[in-house]
Amino acid sequence: MNWIRNKSQSLFLKIFLSFLAIIVLFGMFYMVIFQLFKTSLQKEIIETNQRSVRDTMERFSNQFSRLQVLMFDIYNHSDLIGFNNQLRHQFGTEVNYLKARDVMLQMRSDIYNPLFFLEDTLIYLPEHDFVLSKSGSGEASYMLGRSYSSAQYPYSFWRNDNNQRESFTLLPSATYRINHDLSQKRLMPFVFKQPESPYEIIALIDIDKAAQSFFGESGDRSLAILNTSGEVLYATGQDSFRQLPAFNGQKSMLHDGTYYFMDTDMNGFTYISSVPYSHVSAQLSRITGALLLIFCLSVAVALAASYFFSRRLHRPVKQILTTVLNRKPAVQASDSAHISEYDLIHNRIQELVREKEEIRERMDKHQSVLTSYSYISQLKSINTDISEWEDFLSDDGSFIVVLYHIRFRMNPVYELPLQSDQAVRHMLEHIHLHTAERYPGSHTFQIEKNEIVSIFKREEATNLEVLLQEIKAMLNEEKNLFLVTIAVSSQVSDSSSFNKAYHQIKGLTAQAPLLEESQIVTAQRILPTTVNLSPSQEKGLLDALQSGSNSRSLQIIEQALDALQKKEAGIAQFRFFADSVASKILSYVEMAQIDKTSVQSLKHWSARLAECHSLAEYEGVFRQLIEASCA
C-alpha cells in the first residue's frame, strides 16, 4: 500500500494522468462534433449538388438569353433584309452578294467568340433553297444535308418543317457530322423564326462544350435539360433519365438508388442532375473514414507524446531531487522546488531562442545584401534617356512631332531580314546625329520596334523640311532593304497633347501611298472608297480556283492590285484588300477539303501578306498563295 501510495504521488504519474485527462476530454468533444458533422455533411453534399444544378440552370438561362439577342440582331440585320429582298425581286448578277458577305462577317465574329459556344449559325432561306454560314454560302441541300449532316435533322426535316413554333425554339440535341473538318459533334439547334418570315436563323450550339463549362466534369453525375412539355433536349448519361421520378414540388429526391436534383428557369426549361446514392455515400464514407483515421492517429500520437513528455519532464526533476536528498536528506521536495526546475528549463529555452534569433538576423543580413545586389544589377539596365524625356515634358512651348515608320522589305525568297532590330538601332543613331546637329534642343528616341520619333521645339524648327529631305535621301540609299514613311504632325501646343499628335501621325503613315521609296507625309488625303474585288472579279477568281488555273487567278488579283495602285490607295487599304482576298481563297480551300499540307502552306503565305510593303512583294506572295491553293 505504501508503494502504491508513493507511486501515485510521483510527478511522472501526475503529469501523465493530466495528459490523459486532456486527451479523454478532447476525444469526447471530438466524437460529439464528429456526429454533428456527419449529419450535416450529408446535407451539405445534397445542398452542394442542388446548388450546382441551380448555378447550371442560371448559366444556361443566361446563355440562351444572349443567343436570343444575337439571333435577333442577325435576323434584323439591314444587309440580310436587303439581300433577301434582292433575291426575291432580282435575278443573277443584279443581286448584290456583298450584302451577304457583310452578314457572314458579322456572324463569323460572333461564332468565333468562345462565350457563345457556337459551332455555326445558319441563315436558311427556304424560298430560294439557300443557306448562309460562317464558312460561306450554298444550296440548302448541301449545307443542311452534307456540310452539317444529322440523321435526326436531315435536309428534308428543314425543308418540310411547317410547324408553327414559338419565335425561339430549342430542338433536342443530335449528333452532327461536320463535313469541313470530318468530325462528329453533338449540337443543339436553336431556331428563331417569325410567323410568315421568308427566312430563319439556326444557331448550332456545341452543347457538350457548354455543358462542360456550365456543369463541369460530370464524373458520376449526369445532367438533363427538358423543355416545357417534358421532352429531353439534352442529356449526359442517358440511362439515368429513362424513367424520371415525379418530384411533386420537391427540388431533390432519392429514387431507385439515385439522387435527383431539379430546378426550373423562367422559360419553363427543367434542369435535372442525377447522382448515384453510392456516389454520395462513398463521399461520406471517405470523409468520415478519413476523420476516424485522423482521430485514431491523433489519440495514438497523443498517448505516445504524453508518455514521452512525462518521462522527459520527470527525469531532470528526479535527478535534482536525488541530488538534493543526498545532500540534505531531511529536506523534502516542495512545490517551490518544482517551480525552480521549470524556471531552469525555461531559461534554457530562452537561451536557445536567443541563439536562433541571432542566427536568423545573420541570415537576414546576408539575404539583404544579396537582394540589394540584385536590385543594383537591374538598375544598370534602365534607359538613361528618361532624364532627357523628363526635361522635355517640363519645358513650356509648342512642338512638332515627326514619326519614322520603318517597313523592312522581303528578300527574293520573301523572308524578312534577321537583323532588323540592329538595323533600327543604327538608323536611330544616324537620325539622332542629324537632328541633334541641326537642332540641339530636339529629342529622338525609339518608341516601337519599327518606329522612331523626333520632337522639335516649334521656335527652333525652321527649315525642318530641308532636314527631312536630307534624311529621306539618306534612307533611300537603302531602299532595297527597307522603306520609311516620315509623317509630320501639325503644331502641338503642349507636352500633354503628345499622345494625340502621335496617333495623328500614325494615321498618316497608314494613308501613305504604296511607293518603292521612302516618303514624307504631312497631311491627310482623299482615299478610294472601295478596295474589294468586284462581284465579277470575285466570281472569276472562284471559277479559276475551282478549275485550278494559276495564271487566271493571278491575273485577276494583279489587275485588282494595279487598279489600287492607279487609285493611289493607302498602305492600310492594300493590307485590307490582301487580307480579304486571302480569306476568300482560304475559305474556298477549306470547303474544297484540300489536304492539310496545302492548307498549312496556304496559311503560311497568307500570314506573309502582312509583311508586304510594295506592289511587287504583294504580287510575289499572291503568286505563292495561288500556287499553294491550286496544288
According to DSSP, the residues that pair with 223 across neighbouring strands are 273
pTM value surpassing 0.75 = no
Residue 207: what pLDDT? 93
78-82, 386-390, 395-399, 462-466: segment of lowest average pLDDT: 386-390
Question: Residue 378 pLDDT more than 50?
Answer: no
40 burial level (CB within 10 Å; 0-12, 13-18, 19+): exposed
**Cα(585)–Cα(599) distance, integer angstroms:** 10
- Give residue 165's pLDDT band: very low, low, confident or very high (50, 70, 90): low
Q: What's the CA gap between 262 and 266, in Å, rounded?
A: 14
What is the torsional sign of CA 17, 20, 24, 29?
positive
**Which residue is associated with the grid cell 452534307?**
146
pLDDT computed for residue 210 by the predictor: 93
Query: How large is the average pLDDT for residues 150-173?
Result: 84
Helix (H) or strand (E) holding 388, with range, is helix 386-394
CA distance linking residue 11 with residue 9, whole number of Å: 7
Q: To the nearest whole percent, how much of the chain has pLDDT over 90?
A: 23
Region 395-521: CATH code: 3.30.70.270
* Locus of grid cell 538598375: 379
pLDDT for res 162: 64
Question: Which pLDDT does position 520 carry in this prediction?
Answer: 93
Given a cut of 80, is residue 178 above it in pLDDT? yes
The mean predicted confidence, pLDDT, of the chain is 80
Beta bridge partners of 204: 120, 189
Instruction: Please tell me the predicted confidence (pLDDT) of residue 412.
Output: 61
Q: Is the pLDDT of residue 354 over 80?
A: no
Which residues, 6 or more positions from 63, have their beta carbon under 8 angstroms from its beta carbon?
116, 117, 210, 214
pLDDT, tens digit (0-9, with 9 covering 90-100), for 575-624:
999 988 888 888 887 777 666 666 777 787 888 888 888 888 898 888 88
In this structure, how many other beta carbons lie within 10 angstroms of the beta carbon of residue 431? 23
Q: What is the mean pLDDT of residues 293-310?
A: 81
C-alpha 399/C-alpha 526 separation (Å) is: 27
201 grid coordinates: 436563323
Crossing angle between the packed helical segments 335-379 and 277-327, to the nearest 10 degrees: 120
All three cell numbers of 246: 415525379
Cell numbers given for 75: 435576323
Q: For 335-349, 461-475, 591-605, which range has the lowest pLDDT when averaged over its residues?
A: 335-349
Architecture field, domain 60-277: 2-Layer Sandwich (3.30)
- In angstroms, the CA 308 to CA 12 distance is 10
Higher-scoring residue by pLDDT: 629, 52: 52
Least confident of 225-229, 335-339, 416-420: 335-339
Q: Long-range contacts for 521-524 (Cβ within 8 Å, ≥24 apart)?
A: 521/485, 521/486, 521/487, 521/488, 522/487, 522/488
Compute the average pLDDT of residues 490-499. Answer: 80
- Percent of the chain having pLDDT more than 70? 80
- The pLDDT-based confidence of 343 (bands split at 50, 70, 90) is low
β-bridge partners, 234: 225
> How many Å apart are CA 181 and CA 202, to the nearest integer?
20
Instruction: Please give the pLDDT value at position 488.
Output: 92
Grid coordinates of 301: 500520437
3-state secondary structure of 168: strand
Short-list 335, 342, 309, CA closest to 20? 309
DSSP codes of every residue in 36-98: HHHHHHHHHHHHHHHHHHHHHHHHHHHHHHHHHHHHHHHHT-HHHHHHHHHHHH--GGGS-HH
Q: 56-70, 123-137, 201-215, 217-231: which range is least confident on average? A: 217-231
Rounded distance between C-alpha atoms, residue 101 and residue 106, angstroms: 9
pLDDT of residue 398: 82
* pLDDT value at 186 more than 60: yes
Nine-digit cell string for 378:
537591374
If you average pLDDT over residues 319-341, what whole number do you get?
Answer: 49
Q: In what order do the strands lie in the sheet with 232-235?
A: 232-235, 222-226, 270-276, 258-264, 252-255
C-alpha cell at 145: 444535308
